[in-house]
Chains A and B, each alone.
Chain A
Amino acid sequence: MWAMIMRRLSVSVISLALLVTLVFFMIHATPGGPAYSILGSHASPEAVAALNRQMGLDRPLLDQYGIWWDHLLEGRLGYSYIQHVGVSRLIGVYLDRTLALDLGALALAILVSLVVGLLQGYWADRLGGRIIGFLQIVFYAMPVFFTGILLIYVFSIRLDWLPPGGVGHPGWVGRLRHLTLPVLTLALPVSAGFSRYFGHQAREEYRQDYVRTARARGLSEWRIATRHVLRNAVRPFVTLVGMMIPVLFVGGVLTESVFNYPGLGWLLWRSALDQDYPTLSAITLLIGVLTILGNLVADLLNSILDVRVRYE
């Protein structure tokens, strides 16, 4: 058990080191170096040299690499020369919007896939189950940027029911209205993935003897579904959430960009387009660290639960 945890931790540490190193060396491989992205591509060589000296960019690469680590460990993420603000302050503003979107989509996806999965299990070999299975394949393959833009076209441009993007004014009604379409968009592929898995579990459960016994006892289908099948089918829940974390994060980046929803993913996209390297590298690191930690927590929880199940 402890050996497993240590092994898993060491993998995460290697991941983090790899991520930080990759980002550092790629940033320093930019044509002309970071100075050009700050001063613009028409800067004179003297100005570039002066800035390089001032920022320590003329020092040996390995020295800079050490300083990079020092700063990261102190939580100093650099300064955005495009937005003229410290990156750490930027991130604070954007992070909670991303969390609102991702957690909202996750909650919706779990809810939807519980219902759909149960129905799919119940209708296993009938037409209903087949249709659900087909829709799952289609929606899982559906790119979020296509779904998003279709929803915008229908609900914002044609019907004018919901705003096409942004976050809206403070106040929760406005925020909810602006969150509706992005959450739906992001929840769709996640629901397809979740419900496919749940559906499979539910189908297995419906084949068990206890379901037949419960039916023989005269329990209603509703009671069988909620009290028995659901309870057993949701067991591998943590595995599922762990598996879907990357889909959620990646989908979130694209969804935010489609809806101009200013969260971390949107900031990543804008800073990539503007070649705002300090912000870009900070966000890449942040999302990277979140993903690695998410995977780690899911894996650890999983193995802990697994052990408990084994000894039960």
Chain B
Amino acid sequence: MSEPARSRWGFLPLLRWGAFGRSWRAAPLVVTGLTLFLGLLAFSWLGPLVYPRSPYTIHPHALFRAPSVRHPLGTDDLGRSFLARMMYGGRPSLGVAIVGSILALLIGLAYGMASGLSPVWLDRVFMRILDAILALPTLVLMIFFAAIVPLRPLSLILLLGLLSWPGLARIVRNEVLAYKGRDYILAARQYGAGTGYLARTHLLRSMFPVVIVNATFTVADLILTLAGLSFLGLGIQPPEPSWGGLLGNGSNLAITGSWWLIFFPGFAILLAILSMNLVGQGLLNRLEGR
């Protein structure tokens, strides 16, 4: 990990579009994961353009239809097109998790930077509090909060973001400690750079790869958590579709033998989590030079 910043940047060309084949050979996990995830995003946001059916229109004469040419992913207990519901359901399932992760990332960056750049005694206080927060059971607290706050996408974003930043904060703080004694930082200070400037430019740039890796894991975590909450009826509220909610509904209807109501949403959640984990793991392997 004591390598200069150049090799840590080595993975960045992967994110450029032109060199797909080369990138795949260099980092198969990252490219596979990114492709899968982009595919899911396209399915959710662009899919309705290709298949313009309403996810809310009820068809009383076509209940519980199995997947066929007419109903690509079947229909649910109210005869609604399940493909349309899967597409629209992807938007909150992925969107809330992504925005929640960005929020967690911002809070984590602010807390970690503040802690790492503080005098030693204050840093200790910051870290002691962080340890205490990390020991709390996040999902249990989320269920607890979900019972109290009104469940709208915005409040879910806040809920997920506010409860999942501590892990990122610790990583940021450790990165700050690793870099703040380096020569180039000291040199910048000699030239009169302020702490805020150092944090914004040098430190942020140096820790970027590590932070990105952990942010991808956070996205995967939040997709799982949100799906779990929606499955329990404590996340995105019906009739608004979400993958977790659809799976919950499907499991209540499992007795009717409608396997498609269980398999497709569950598989979509699994793919989303898996793809983000693959990206994270692939980037991590590159970082550690494996």
Chain A residues in the interface with B (C-beta under 8 A): 10-12, 14-15, 18-19, 22-23, 26-27, 29-30, 137-138, 140-143, 145-146, 149-150, 152-153, 157-158, 164, 246, 249-250, 253-254, 257-258, 268-269, 271-273, 275, 277, 280-281, 284, 287-288, 291-292, 295-296
Asked whether, in the complex, the Cβ of B147 is within 8 Å of the Cβ of A146, the reply is no
Residue of A141, A164, A254, A269 contacting most chain B CB atoms (<10 Å): A141
Most chain B CB atoms below 10 A, which of A250, A281, A288? A250
Mask of B245-258 contacts with A, CB within 8 angstroms, 1/0: 00110110011010
Evaluate contact between A11 and B128: CB separation under 8 angstroms. yes
With contacts A246-B137, A249-B137 taken as known, whether A150 is within 8 angstroms of B231 at the C-beta atoms is no
> Do A268 and B140 contact each other (CB < 8 Å), given the known contacts A138-B274, A149-B247?
yes
- Asked if B136 is an interface residue, CB under 8 A from chain A, the answer is yes
CB nearest to A264 among chain B residues: B140
User: B137, B248, B257 — which one has the most chain A CB atoms within 10 A of its CB?
Assistant: B137
**Which residues of B have CB within 8 Å of A146?**
247, 266-267, 269-270
* In contact, A149 and B250 (Cβ under 8 angstroms): yes
Contact of B136 among A15, A138, A258 (CB under 8 A): A15
Q: Are A153 and B135 in contact (CB under 8 A)?
A: no
Which A residue sits closest to B228, measured CB to CB?
Answer: A254
Please list 23 pairs of residues, one from A and one from B, whose beta carbons are closer than 8 Å in the complex, sorted by A's number. A12-B135, A14-B128, A14-B129, A15-B132, A15-B136, A18-B136, A141-B274, A143-B227, A143-B269, A145-B227, A145-B228, A149-B250, A149-B254, A149-B262, A153-B259, A153-B262, A164-B254, A249-B137, A254-B139, A254-B228, A268-B144, A273-B234, A291-B140
* Beyond A146-B267, A149-B247, A149-B250, 14 additional pairs, beta carbon < 8 A: A12-B135, A14-B132, A15-B136, A18-B133, A143-B273, A145-B227, A145-B247, A145-B266, A268-B140, A272-B147, A273-B147, A273-B232, A284-B144, A288-B136
Tell me if B281 is interfacial: C-beta within 8 Å of chain A: yes
Residues of B within 8 A of A152 (CB): 251, 254
Partner of A269, one of B128, B143, B270: B143
- A-facing residues in B214-268 (Cβ within 8 Å): 220, 224, 227-228, 231-234, 244, 247-248, 250-251, 254-255, 257, 259, 262-263, 266-267
Interface size for B (C-beta < 8 A) is 46
Q: Which of B140, B233, B248, B250 contacts A288 (CB 8 A)?
A: B140
In this complex, what residue of A is CB-closest to B274? Answer: A141
- Chain A CB within 8 A of B120 CB: no
A295 to B250 Cα, complex, angstroms: 36
Do the beta carbons of B269 and A275 come within 8 Å of each other?
A: no
Please tell me if B148 contacts chain A, counting CB pairs below 8 Å: yes
Smallest CB-CB A-B distances: 3 pairs? A272-B147, A146-B266, A14-B132
Chain B residues contacting A145 (CB-CB under 8 Å) are 227-228, 231, 244, 247-248, 251, 266
Say whether, besides A14-B132, A143-B269, A272 and B141 are in contact (CB < 8 Å): no
The minimal Cβ–Cβ distance linking B90 to chain A, given in whole angstroms, is 16
Q: What's the nearest-Cβ distance from chain A to residue B170, in Å?
A: 13
B213 in the interface, Cβ–Cβ < 8 Å?
no
B45 at the A/B interface (Cβ < 8 Å)?
no
Nearest opposing residue in chain B for A145, CB measure: B231
**Cα–Cα distance between A303 and B287 once the two chains are bound (Å):** 29
Across the interface, which residues of B come within 8 angstroms of A250, CB to CB? Answer: 137-140
Which residues from B are CB-within-8-Å of A137? 274, 277-278, 281
Bound CA–CA A291/B148 (angstroms): 22
User: Do A26 and B220 form a contact, CB below 8 Å, given A141-B274, A254-B232, A273-B234?
Assistant: no
B184 at the binding interface (Cβ < 8 Å):
no
Q: Are A157 and B255 in touch, CB under 8 angstroms?
A: yes
Q: Say how far B122's CB is from chain A's closest CB, in angstroms.
A: 16
B124 to chain A, nearest CB (A): 10
Residue of A nearest to B223 (CB): A143
Whole-angstrom distance from the CB of B244 to the nearest CB of chain A?
8
In the assembly, what is the distance between CA of A284 and CA of B141, in Å? Answer: 7
- Interface assignment of B99: CB less than 8 Å from any CB of chain A: no
Alpha-carbon distance A166/B135, docked complex (angstroms): 31
B136 touches A150 (CB 8 A): no
Q: Which residue of B lies closest to A8 (CB)?
A: B131
A158 to B258, CA, bound (A): 11
**B63 in the interface, Cβ–Cβ < 8 Å?**
no
In angstroms, how far is the closest chain A Cβ from the Cβ of B231?
A: 5
- Kindly state the separation between the CA atoms of A11 and B170 in the bound complex, as whole angstroms: 15
Q: How far is the CA of A204 from the CA of B68 in the complex (A)?
A: 51
Are A280 and B147 in contact, CB atoms less than 8 angstroms apart?
yes
Q: Which residues from chain A contact B224 at a C-beta distance below 8 Å?
A: 141, 143
